[in-house]
Structure 1
Amino acid sequence: MQNKRGISQAFSQVSGGVILRRATVFDVFDLSRVLIRSITRLCVADHQGDPQAIAHWIANKDPASIRNWIADSANIWLVEHAGRVAAVGGLRDDEVTLLYVDPDHIGHGIGAALLHRLEDELIASGHFDVRLEATKTAQDFYRRHGWQATGQCGARGDVSCFAMRKSLHPRD
């Protein structure tokens, strides 16, 4: 970071003791825990409790895989709440690739805070027409934050998937 704004954007605290920051390799165990707990406990509408679907979905959510994502310069963010990692988000090019909240931290505005941070990062990197693939569980959350469904995702087989987009262009 070369200036105050860059430093504050890299590590910032929002209301309610919530801290948003980029993930490091030292966070991989906490990130894995959040991803797996969120998928298994919150995404039941998508995997229907099917052990094979869950196993397939979480197969690359282990600490070693996450360490590789970070080592490969993935843009991974996390939220700390009450001293614990409470949410994980990720970006690639013009796409939100991850946004999962730990079940113990639902209802505190953590997902919204993380989504807004990811959107700010997309704008800062010059992406204004952005996309994501939402689960059935997350669709309403994204709609509440201005995202629009654009159809079904390609064949994934393991869970339902809905393509969504949002324009981040400033309004006049």
Structure 2
Amino acid sequence: MNNKRGIAQAFSNPSEGLGLRPATVFDVFGMSRTLTRSFCDLCQADHRDDPMKLALWTANKDPAAIRDWIDAGASLWVATKREEVVAVGGLRAEGEISLLYVDPDHSGQRIGATLLHQLQDELRAQGCTEAQLRATKTAHGFYVAQGWQDAGDPTEWNGLPQYPMRKSLHPVG
């Protein structure tokens, strides 16, 4: 092929300068900010600016609660740019992705997709052959584009729609 450089760039890491790592207690303020801003600013289709829904969702997203999650052994990951937390992801036992949120200032940069792939790789390393999650209305299309499939009828959590989804983690051969 004559355009090897162009092809290499097309398939290069779209999130240059992005760091992915397990979260630590030193990340709790950035994680809290990212989770809250992402939900409040990007998920209007879910909360529709309803103060009660916003309050219910953000109630356990403060730094102290997140520190408790980490202290309890939660598997939480962060994506960082220049040491700033720009996305947060989480895993639960039995192959569940518990959360994946990107700061609004960094949405549309493939950071969510990059962190999602990391979480899926972590589940594979744990021996999981299938992953599950509950998507927000806002994120449903994102997950479909990442190869996830609906796994049942939508449910509600504190008045917010949740879409059960699953994805095979078997290697594509």
Superposition TM-score, scaled by structure 1 size: 0.89
Give the letter for the 1:109 counterpart: R
CA distance, structure 1, for counterparts of residue 74 and residue 32 of structure 2: 15
Partner residue in 2 for 1:10: none
Q: Report SS of the residue matched to 1:34.
A: helix
Match of 1:113 in 2: 114
Answer whether contact 1:57 1:158 (CA < 8 A) is retained: no
1:46 is aligned to 2:46 = yes
Residue 129 of structure 1 deviates from its aligned partner by 1.0
The reply to whether residue 71 of structure 1 matches residue 71 of structure 2 is yes
Report the 3-state secondary structure (helix = DSSP H, G, I; strand = E; otherwise coil) of the residue aligned with 2:132: strand
The equivalent of 1:143 in structure 2 is 144
Match of 1:9 in 2: none
Counting matched residue pairs gives: 160
Determine helix, strand or coil for the equivalent of 1:60: coil
Contact 1:46 1:135 in 2 (8 A): yes
For structure 1, the 5+ residue unaligned runs are 1-12
Q: Which has the larger radius of gyration?
A: 2
Q: Tell me whether 132-141 or 83-92 shows the greater mean CA deviation.
A: 83-92
- Asked whether 1:131 is paired with 2:96, we answer no
Gaps of 5+ in 2: 1-12
State how far apart, in whole Å, the 2-side matches of 1:88 and 1:121 are. Answer: 14
Render the CA deviation track for 1:72-101: whole Å, top value 9, x for unaligned.
110000001244210000000110001000
Q: Deviations over 1:52-91 (max 9, x none)?
A: 0000011100111100100011000000124421000000
| Counterpart Cα distance in 2 of 1:39 and 1:148 | 22
Q: After TM superposition, where is structure 1 displaced by more than 3 Å over at least 4 residues in a row? A: none
CA distance in 2, matches of 1:15, 1:44: 26
Alignment RMSD: 1.4
Change (3 A) 1:62 1:125: same
TM-score normalized with structure 2 length: 0.88
| Change over 3 Å in CA distance of 1:73–1:153 after alignment to 2 | farther
Pairwise CA distance, 1:15:
4.6
For residues 154 and 106 of structure 1, the distance between their equivalents in structure 2, rounded to whole angstroms, comes to 26
Structure-1 separation of matches of 2:14 and 2:104: 20
